[in-house]
Structure 1
Amino acid sequence: MPPTKLAIVGVGKIVRDQHLPAIAADPDFELIATASRHGTVDGIPAFKSIEEMLESVPGIEAVSLCMPPQYRYQAAHVALSAGKHVFLEKPPGATLSEVQDLARLAEAKGVSLFASWHSRYAPAVEAARQFLASTQIESVHVNWKEDVRHWHPNQEWIWQAGGLGVFDPGINALSIVTHVLPRAIFLTGATLEFPENRDAPIAADLVFADSTGLGVRAEFDWRQTGKQSWDIVAKTAAGEMVLSEGGAKLSIDGKIVHEEPEREYPSLYHRFSEIVRAGTSDVDLAPLTHVADAFMLGRRKFVDAFYD
């Protein structure tokens, strides 16, 4: 089959680091246009808005939306209404209700909508899921701590309402946890730390349970310098499982049992191609639901002001 003609909206760091290399290596897609307020891609027609782009380039079949989540709904609605398949960067939107509305629109238009959770495609995640399905889980602890100044320098949108703050990386952990655990979990308590000069949290401590009483604790922090921590530790009847480096390595009782090179975004585009060709959608809102629950149920604690 010929490649799907693809456009990107929002040409920023994540596009240059991940999307462009993945698309270039995937024969199922051909990048033919971009729309962005500032960014462009060499050799590709560039426009300032999605409306201008769709009007000027009628051959577009699918659109990857990579702008901040606060601005994604309108662009997604425009693309879906025009009959285009849509790839949503994570998180899929600023609210649950807007993504649910997009899912209904995609179904009505007969096009595919993909809520992409890239961390689920980390190399050792599937191995972790299979291991946890084979044993009794006693407890789970998530330690997801990194340096916001390194990963998001001078990005004001992440501190605005709807930008998620520390949940921008933390939702990656939640996307893995909701995929690898055999039963659904629900939030029972949370503390969110807000810098006194910001509208989004810099740290979060979350407590979950499942229907059997299994305890899951997740600690997120954006103030960690030095070595970054992206670990999920599960104590089980078959030993201690550590899914480390954001899902890249799996160890059981200190022995590495699974490790492969990272291919998250190539895997995302492979999955997007699958659903486009099958005429289906893939919109799992579990990770975003847990973030929404944290804002609803969490106790707010104000901490020192944060400056880049």
Structure 2
Amino acid sequence: MTNRKVCIVGVGKIAHDQHVPAIDKSPDWELAATVSRAGSVEGIPIFRDFDVMLEERPDIEMVSLCMPPMARYQYARKALLAGRHVMMEKPPGQTLAEVQALVGMAKEKGVALFATWHSRMGKGVAGAKAALAGKEVTRGQITWKEDVRQWHPGQEWVFEPGGMGVFDPGINALSILTEILPEPVHVTRAELDFPEGRYTAIAARIEFSRGVSMDLDWLQKGDPSWDIEVETAEGTRVVLKFGGNELWVDGEKMPGAEIEEYPALYARMAELVDQRAIDVDLSPMTHVADAMTLGKRLTVEPFSF
């Protein structure tokens, strides 16, 4: 069977590191074109104008949006109105309302829409969810720290309005938390560190209901810390390390699932296209929005790449 054709829109670091290799491995998809102002993929036709691609390539039924979130709504809207299926990198947009509007368009056009949360595909996430099922959470600690200069080198957009700052990686942790907890939590308090002259935070401390807290830092040198610990009234202790890819339950390391994050996302997208279905969970973004609403803003020393 001939694979379905996909166009990557926004050919930057995440596209080269994750999306292109995942499509190459996929039994469902073939990379047929790209749209980018500057980037390209060797051997793949490139368009500089998204409208031209939509007009000239009716054979491409799905677009995978990999650009920063500030521009995502406009591209997703054009694709949906053209009857194309849409897959969106995280976060799916810069506001909740614009993503909700896209859901309405996808329903009206009868096409698939997928807001991806790649960290939910971590090898230990499903096991952590199973270990916590039916239990009462009494404490949780998220520690998500990395070096922005390593993971977003020179990418000034992360500090622009809509760029989310330290919540760009932090939302990965929130996508895992909202997947594994047996009951939802909500933000109760937050402190956000904004570098002088910047529009988004570089560090944050957040408190949630049910004794859950979160520590985000984008200035950690060396190896990143991508860890989640959860304790329950029943005595269960679940620890996820390495961004959800290593699971420990009550001090015992558990076997990981045979899964790769981005190939799993493209497999899920194929299912959604078959069903003409929508998979858009906005709970991680809701936590970010609530932290922004409740957060005490603190000004810290200037930051430059």
Instruction: Establish whether TM, by shorter chain, passes 0.5.
Output: yes
Aligned to 1:229: 225
CA distance in 1, matches of 2:231, 2:113: 36
Aligned to 2:269: 272
Say yes or no: does 1:5 pair with 2:5. Answer: yes
Structure 1 residue 297: Cα displacement: 1.1
Deviations 1:123-147 (A, max 9, x none): 1000000001154322111000111
Q: Which runs of 5+ in 1 are unaligned?
A: none
Aligned to 1:145: 145
CA distance in 2, matches of 1:136, 1:281: 30
Aligned to 2:63: 63
RMSD of the TM alignment (CA)?
1.2
The answer to whether the 8 Å contact 2:134/2:182 transfers is no
CA distance in 2, matches of 1:41, 1:68: 18
Aligned to 1:298: 295
Higher mean C-alpha deviation, range 126-135 or range 93-102: 126-135
Aligned to 2:24: 24
Say yes or no: does 1:83 pair with 2:80. Answer: no
Equivalent runs, 1:1-308 vs 2, <5 Å: 2-209=2-209, 214-236=210-232, 237-260=234-257, 263-308=260-305
Structure 1 residue 103: Cα displacement: 0.5
Q: Indicate how the Cα distance of structure 1 residues 247 and 164 shifts in structure 2: closer, same or farther if over 3 A, else same.
A: same
CA distance in 1, matches of 2:298, 2:140: 24
Deviations 1:46-89 (A, max 9, x none): 01121111112121100000000001110000000000000000
Deviations 1:5-64 (A, max 9, x none): 111100011111100111011121111111000011111110112111111212110000
The answer to whether the 8 Å contact 2:135/2:182 transfers is no
The answer to whether the 8 Å contact 1:248/1:262 transfers is no
CA distance in 1, matches of 2:51, 2:249: 51
Partner amino acid for 1:102? L
The answer to whether the 8 Å contact 1:248/1:261 transfers is no
The count of corresponding residues between Structure 1 and Structure 2 is 304
Aligned sequence identity (%): 53
The answer to whether the 8 Å contact 1:136/1:238 transfers is no
CA distance in 2, matches of 1:257, 1:27: 29
CA distance in 2, matches of 1:276, 1:118: 18
